[in-house]
Amino acid sequence: MRRMICVVAMVLGMCGGVWALPVGEAQKLYERVQRSLVAVQYTMEGEYGRREFTGLGVVVGEEGVVVTPLALFPTGLPDEQMKAFKIILPGDDEQEVAAAFLGRDERSELAFLKAKEKQKWVAIHFEDAAVKVAESVVSVGLLPKEAGFKAFYAEAIVSAVLRGPIPQVLVSPGGLAGVGSPVFNAEGKAIGLVPFQARQSILLMGNPEDLQAVTAPPRLFVPARDFLASLADPPTGKPLAIPWLGAQLTGPSKEVAEYYNLKGVPVAMVGDVIPDAPAAKAGMRQGDKVIKLNGLGLERGDEPAETPQILVRKLRRMKVGQVVKLTVLRGKGQPESEVSVLLEEQPKGANLAKRFYADDLGVSVREVVFADTYVKRLPANTKGVVVAYVRQASATATAGLKIGDFVKELNSVPVEGLGEFKSQYLEFRKSSPKDVVVWVVVREGGTQVIKVEPPQ
């Protein structure tokens, strides 16, 4: 691995560089920044076994607070299965520091950890600095574990500033130092972070794909202004209360925009309005055309279809309990109307749901969350559990049970919830260890009965 990295570095060096900073200044920046880069590690313990994951972290708090891209802790991973968090300090005397997971921040696609014991680390302080086309930028990242998490330096030129739900900056030639790397301008100010992007690895495990940061570097970074609010108000060890509207938003078609004289106006069309959600309580209707937020026109992206996504992202960055005013158009020729929406906390996600694993059948089920009933068009108070994991080649896989199946009955007994399912199953298996297990599930296309033969 070390030899491969060296060869790649030599090839890149012979091809020339951007040389954004004079050599002396570049060396000083490298020496300063490498002290603030760490490796973040945790263990997943679940039905599929035990695995370790390691990615890049940036120290943003002198006492031991570290930030890393949210992609290292996908929201699909159950929180209760993430364990043994560590912060690894690279160097000849590599150190491991026990850490606590502070939580995911979906507002800015980041995750936060903190050393369990108070530290005196060198932190990077990000700034909201203007980014302009043709200016030079540099970044510093970490090589994979097999290269000792060695810090490496990259230079590039800003080639485009992109608008959208997540504003991004495109660089060329060359690229940036890897996912999670801090980005600096020619004045040495920290002005952005490299997010997860296509064909880039978030990991530093030493797999061949982890070398993409060297062989085909990422070329996009997120300017600091997009995540400074999260750095100032990070998670504190429990899930963040994220507000939601409770309505689907899309961009209008060309025909709709022309019919309502909205051509060239940023608009968010209201689709499905979820019963009892904030939008429904405020009187919003399907077909409403949102044109203003708190009296100001909506923000435009590089594509018209991005306007609804930008609006949703802005709402998610507000506070639960805050009242927002949306200006909407309804019928053609009708005056604008203002709708006041009291933002409520979004429903719990599947990552926070408790689970039960039936090892003999190779299947896990979990608590029902809002998304389960909504997607399957079931009443919000529908009782049951949801299949969360099916082991390959297990009895349940052979029988046809699938992830996402909504379980309503087990052996002709209605399933009330996870606790009842667990006790029902364990009692049945104790009294009838070799009997068939009959599941009644809801999936696309209706209700199905699935009979699972337990291993004999």
Q: Are residues 93 and 191 in the same domain?
A: yes
* Number of domains the chain contains: 3
- SS3 state of residue 358: strand
Mean pLDDT of 26-30: 95
Q: Are residues 233 and 278 in the same domain?
A: no
Structural domain of 277: 243-345
pLDDT tens digits along 324-346 = 999 999 988 889 999 999 999 99
- Choose among 208, 146, 216: nearest CA to 179: 216
Mean pLDDT of 336-358: 96
Q: Are residues 233 and 268 in the same domain?
A: no
Mean pLDDT of 264-279: 95
Cβ contact 33:48 at 8 Å: no
**Side-chain half-sphere CA neighbours of 372 within 13 A:** 26
The DSSP result for 8-77, as a single string, is HHHHHHHT-----S-HHHHHHHHHHHHTTEEEEEEEEEETTEEEEEEEEEEEEETTTEEEEEGGGS-TTS
Give the rounded percent of residues in the chain with a pLDDT score beyond 70: 95
Q: Are residues 214 and 77 in the same domain?
A: yes
CATH (domain of 206): 2.40.10.120
Give the rounded percent of residues in the chain with a pLDDT score beyond 90: 81
Q: Are residues 289 and 396 in the same domain?
A: no
- 32 CB neighbour count, 10 Å cutoff: 14
Q: Which of 290, 315, 345 is the last residue of a domain?
A: 345
Q: Are residues 142 and 251 in the same domain?
A: no
Range of weakest confidence among 10-14, 55-59, 384-388, 418-422: 10-14
413 phi and psi, to 5 degrees? Answer: -110, 125
Q: Are residues 31 and 113 in the same domain?
A: yes
pLDDT band at 302 (very low <50, low <70, confident <90, very high): confident
Global pTM? 0.90
Q: Are residues 201 and 293 in the same domain?
A: no
- Choose among 22, 382, 318, 404: nearest CA to 188: 22
More confident call, 332 vs 319: 319
Torsion over CA of 48, 54, 60 and 61, rounded to 10 degrees?
70
Residue 209 has pLDDT above 80, yes or no: no
Mean pLDDT of 167-190: 95
CATH (domain of 357): 2.30.42.10
Q: Are residues 158 and 35 in the same domain?
A: yes
Range of weakest confidence among 14-23, 40-49, 89-98, 373-382: 14-23
Cβ contact 439:450 at 8 Å: yes
Cβ contact 134:18 at 8 Å: no
Q: What average pLDDT does the chain have?
A: 92
- Judged on CB neighbours under 10 Å (0-12, 13-18, 19+), 254 is exposed
Q: Are residues 320 and 296 in the same domain?
A: yes
More confident call, 298 vs 6: 298
Q: Are residues 228 and 354 in the same domain?
A: no
pLDDT tens digits along 107-163 = 999 999 999 999 999 999 999 999 999 999 999 999 999 899 999 999 999 999 999
pLDDT band at 199 (very low <50, low <70, confident <90, very high): confident
324 phi and psi, to 5 degrees? Answer: -115, 150
Q: Which of 216, 240, 264 is the last residue of a domain?
A: 240
Q: Are residues 308 and 204 in the same domain?
A: no
Q: Which of 281, 313, 345 is the last residue of a domain?
A: 345
Tokens of 115: 């050393």
Angstrom CA distances, 142 to 22, 28, 29, 320, stand at 22, 17, 15, 37
